[in-house]
Amino acid sequence: MKTIKAQSYKELSRIAADVIAAQILGKPDSVIGLATGSTPIGTYAELADKCSRGELDFSKVTTVNLDEYVGLGGEHPQSYRCFMNRNLFERINVRPECTFVPNGCAEDLAAECRAYDARIEQLGGVDLQLLGIGIDGHIGFNEPDDHFTRETHEVTLDESTIEANSRFFASPSDVPRTALTMGMGAIMGARRILMVVNGKNKEEILRRALQGPITPRVPASILQLHPDVTVVYSEE
């Protein structure tokens, strides 16, 4: 595991964007796993800038997102599909049909989860997976549990996650209670993992994830078993 301490959020975003850009330059048809949340926003802005300067070409890239709220359609401003369109996809030359986000409004959510895993497999797996970490140690929406779940699945969000994510909604009661998330199989199957972590309040959970026991109670601790993880963090 490689950890890089950035001096600022701006620097964290630049470093993370450089890692993703290097992946795409080396393999233009890369499958990139993407995350939402506030931490990657700066990374996405840097990637969009690189693309508009002609330094980076997303035309052969495929993206697969980690998760989506159940019940929010792609047009809902707080859906992760809408977040991705706004913060990245509309600002780069990726082909919209090559951007995948779980459909949280699917009639049959279990079938949607199975189809999502089949899609990732058919793409040959993820080349580089971008992750954030929740204050409870979640990655994607894999919340603390008594076991790790391999497949894409529906999860009930923890109170701390609802509380943390309520900043994007009018009130905590508007935050969906469940979500679809990629499971640990697809995440751990990614050839490379890049985790971005920002803020003093993430310091303790990051320490537990990287140095504590490997346990589903701290889902991100599973990353200790992955051979190629880079963590970029800033205290800003």
218 SS3 class: coil
| Contact status, residue 127 vs residue 62, Cβ threshold 8 Å | no
Question: Given the rule CB under 6 A, which of 36-44, 70-78, 94-102, 169-177 is the region that contacts ligand F6R?
Answer: 36-44
Per the DSSP assignment, residues forming a β-bridge with 230 are 2, 194
* Alpha-carbon gap, residue 138 to 185, rounded angstroms: 15
**Could you tell me the smallest distance in angstroms from the CB atom of residue 211 to ligand F6R?**
19
**Could you tell me the smallest distance in angstroms from the CB atom of residue 43 to ligand F6R?**
10
46 SS3 class: helix
Could you tell me where the beta strands, DSSP code E, fall in 151-222? 153-156, 178-181, 192-198
Active site residue 153: no
Active site residue 143: yes
Q: Is 42 in the site for ligand F6R (CB under 6 A)?
A: no
Among 46, 67, 112, 158, binds ligand F6R (CB under 6 A): 67
> Phi and psi of 137, rounded to 5°?
90, 5
**Could you tell me the smallest distance in angstroms from the CB atom of residue 158 to ligand F6R?**
10
Among 9, 17, 30, 37, binds ligand F6R (CB under 6 A): 37
Q: How many residues contact ligand F6R, by CB under 6 A? A: 13
**Could you tell me the smallest distance in angstroms from the CB atom of residue 53 to ligand F6R?**
26
The catalytic residue among 68, 143, 153, 158 is 143
Among 138, 184, 206, 222, binds ligand F6R (CB under 6 A): 138
Sign of the dihedral through C-alpha 131, 133, 134, 136: positive
Tokens of 91: 């600002």
DSSP string, 59-81: TT-EEEESEEETT--TTSTTSHH
Ranges within 95-134 binding ligand F6R (CB under 6 A) = 132-134
Indicate which residues carry an active-site annotation: 67, 136, 138, 143
Q: Which residues bind ligand F6R (CB under 6 A)?
A: 35-39, 66-67, 132-134, 138-140
